[in-house]
Amino acid sequence: MKDMVVLISGRGSNMQALVEAGLPVAAVISNRADAAGLAYAAGRGIATSVVSHRDYATREAFDAALAQAIDGFRPDLVALAGFMRILTAGFVLRYRGRMLNIHPSLLPAFPGLDTHARALAAGVKLHGCSVHFVTPELDHGPIVMQAAVPVLPRDDEARLAARVLAQEHRIYAQAARWFLDEKLVIESGVVRVKGEPPQQLYAP
Ligand code: GRF
C-alpha cells in the first residue's frame, strides 16, 4: 500500500486532519521536540521522530539528517504541514513531484509568513489556502487545489485564520488522496486533476 510521511513543527492540526481522513500516515517527523502534534500522532500509534535543526551546524547537514529519517519509511508522498524550516534545493529536488505543502493564502498572493494579516491589510475580499507541490522557490510550486473564503467586515487575524484553517484541513486531505490515487498530472508547471474539480468554494 502507498503511504506518506508528514513533517510538522507545532500544533499539527493539518497532520491530524490527514490522519482523521484515513490517509496512510506512516510517520510524523518534527524539527521540534515540543511540537504538540507529536503527542497526537503517538497516541494514534503512528511512528514519530524528532530531527532537531539545533543539532546541525548547517542547513545541508540538517536536511541530510531529515532525508535519512524520511527515507527510513520509504514514503510515496512527503507532506509538509506547518513545517517551519526553509529547505535546501538539494532536499527539495530529492522529493521532486512527491512533496506537497499547505499554504494559508490563495497563491501566488501572499507567499511567506503572516498571510492573514497581509490579506487584511491589502483589503482583499477573498482569501484562502492552497495545496501545492514543493519546488526550491518558497511557496511557488505547481498548485494542486485551492479553497476560497470571504474576508468579512469584522474579521481580525484570528477569525480569518480560523475560517481558512477549516478549509486547509479539507483540501489537504483531498489533495493527498488524489496524489496517492495517482490522479495528479503536472504539465508545464500546471497541475491537472484527472476527473475532479480542483477548487473548493466557501459554502457558509
Ligand atoms: C497552517 O495554517 C499552515 O497552512 C501553515 O502553518 C499552519 C500550521 O498549522 N503553513 P497546523 O500545525 O497544521 O495546525
The whole model's pTM is what? 0.96
Mean pLDDT across the chain = 96
pLDDT digits (tens, 9 = 90+) for 136-145: 999 999 999 9
Residue 105 — pLDDT band, cuts 50, 70, 90?
very high
Q: Which atom of ligand 1 is nearest to the CA of 37?
A: 12
Residue 202 — pLDDT band, cuts 50, 70, 90?
low
Q: Which atom of ligand 1 is nearest to the CA of 16?
A: 13
Closest residue by CA, ligand 1 atom 5: 82
Asked if the model's pLDDT at residue 200 lies above 80, the reply is no
The answer to whether 116 is a known catalytic residue is: no
Residue 199 — pLDDT band, cuts 50, 70, 90?
confident
Q: Which atom of ligand 1 is nearest to the CA of 81?
A: 13
Integer Cα distance of 173 and 91 in angstroms: 24
Residue 198 — pLDDT band, cuts 50, 70, 90?
confident
pLDDT digits (tens, 9 = 90+) for 39-73: 999 999 999 999 999 999 999 999 999 999 999 99
Residues within 6 Å of ligand 1 by CB: 8, 10-14, 81-82, 102-104, 165, 168
Give pLDDT, residue 201. 67
Q: Ligand 1: distance of its center to the CA of 14 in Å?
A: 6
Residue 92: all three cell numbers together: 527539495
The structural domains of the chain, ordered by start, are 1-95 (3.40.50.170), 103-204 (3.40.50.170)
Going by DSSP bridges, is the β-strand pair 47-50/25-30 parallel, antiparallel, or unpaired?
A: parallel
Transcribe the chain into DSSP letters.
Answer: ---EEEEESS--HHHHHHHHTT--EEEEEES-TT-HHHHHHHHTT-EEEE--GGG-SSHHHHHHHHHHHHHTT--SEEEESS---PPPHHHHHHTTTSEEEEESS-TTSS-SS-HHHHHHHHT-SEEEEEEEE--SSTT-SPEEEEEEEEPPTT--HHHHHHHHHHHHHHHHHHHHHHHHTT-EEEETTEEEETTS--EEE---
Q: Ligand 1: distance of its center to the CA of 37 in Å?
A: 11
Closest residue by CA, ligand 1 atom 12: 12
Asked if the model's pLDDT at residue 99 lies above 80, the reply is yes
pLDDT digits (tens, 9 = 90+) for 75-84: 999 999 999 9
Integer Cα distance of 87 and 159 in angstroms: 30
Catalytic residue among 103, 116, 127, 169: 103
